[in-house]
Amino acid sequence: MFAKKEIIDILKDNSQNRELFAHADMVRKENVGDAIHLRGLIEFSNICRCSCKYCGLQMANKKLERYRLSPDNIISCAKDAVDAGYKTIVLQSGEDIFYSKNVMCKIISEIKSMDIALTLSIGERSLEDYKEFRDFGADRYLLRIETTDANLYKKMHPNMDFKNRLKCLYNIKNLGYETGCGSLIGLPGQSIESIANDILFFKELDADMIGIGPFIVHPDTPLKDAENGNFTLALKAMAITRIMLKNINIPATTAMETLNPNGRIIALQSGANVIMPNVTTLECRKKYEIYPGKITPDKDIQKHRNCLEEKLKSIGRTISKEHGFRRQ
């Protein structure tokens, strides 16, 4: 367990990165083993009411062609992923109010009848919505805090409220979801100290899943002239999170692979134990452009899975056959 000062020192000093990554890899092995959980990600709508400055899906981006999958279409994507062996489906979208509480509940109950774990990642909703989704069987919810620096949060999310984000996270936690959080590394104006605070916040929340990725500049956003986040710094924040939260699930994020061609394998050897392959149809994937250069796997999800299995085997890892809840 590191104190804040130690976290800051580790983040600032690059002379012992190798030892840090090896330590995180050992903690991962001891606490969650060598099997990787694959989560089939369905990006079902890129329509969004928010204006997050870093995100390509923001409402003001008129260049993006928008799409919205019908409930039947979403369910059929999920079925294909389950047939290909996926044990977890993640439904992610912009904050699209077309998917009302009732529409979501119908989708949730259909997908839950396939005997898999279901994760939602659809942004801020009311307590009542979260409760209903949970009652209909949703197991997990991902909602990154993005940054715990309240001032930076306000700058990055002009029409949102930091306190409400926190409230949503605690509502999710209290309803008994496995709670996923996380942050962006390298937002303009973000300090190292605030990244240390992010990690301490994950610990305080006792998050079950943490996704950490570098910020990647999108040309059609107000941050188009900013610089990309740093891959190594994101990797270090992830490694420290593994060491501090031990048995949680940590994805090797797609954003890491976007900045480094071998990024996900490196992440899997530095504390991560989850991959979230995209199982949406190819044409939708291109339009779900939260940032440019997002890697998109083979359009044949079975082929992609086999290919991943080979790659994982080469680093001594396997694909888990379980639902992949947090280990006790």
**Interface residues with ligand SAH (CB under 6 A)?**
54-55, 92, 94-95, 121-123, 143-144, 146, 184, 213, 215-216, 218, 255, 290-291
Separation of alpha carbons 154 and 160, rounded Å: 7
Q: Taking the CB of residue 34, how many other CB atoms lie within 10 A of it? A: 13
Q: Confirm if 209 and 181 have CB atoms less than 8 A apart.
A: yes
Q: Which two tokens stand for residue 274?
A: 């989850």
Nearer to ligand SAH, 40 or 317 (CB): 40
Q: Confirm if 57 and 46 have CB atoms less than 8 A apart.
A: yes
Q: 237: left (phi > 0), else alpha (psi -120 to 50), else beta? A: alpha
Nearer to ligand SAH, 149 or 319 (CB): 149
Distance in Å, CB of 202 to ligand SAH, minimum: 14
Nearer to ligand SAH, 137 or 188 (CB): 188
Distance in Å, CB of 73 to ligand SAH, minimum: 19
What value, to the nearest 5°, has the Cα angle with vertex 327 and ends 42 and 240? 85
Distance of CA 25 to the CA centre of its chain: 20
Distance in Å, CB of 107 to ligand SAH, minimum: 16
Distance in Å, CB of 299 to ligand SAH, minimum: 22
Nearer to ligand SAH, 54 or 177 (CB): 54
CA distances, 322 to each of 36, 37, 85, 247, 299 (Å): 10, 8, 10, 16, 24
Distance in Å, CB of 42 to ligand SAH, minimum: 12
Q: Confirm if 35 and 320 have CB atoms less than 8 A apart.
A: yes
Nearer to ligand SAH, 75 or 172 (CB): 172
Distance in Å, CB of 143 to ligand SAH, minimum: 5
Separation of alpha carbons 241 and 243, rounded Å: 5
Nearer to ligand SAH, 121 or 269 (CB): 121
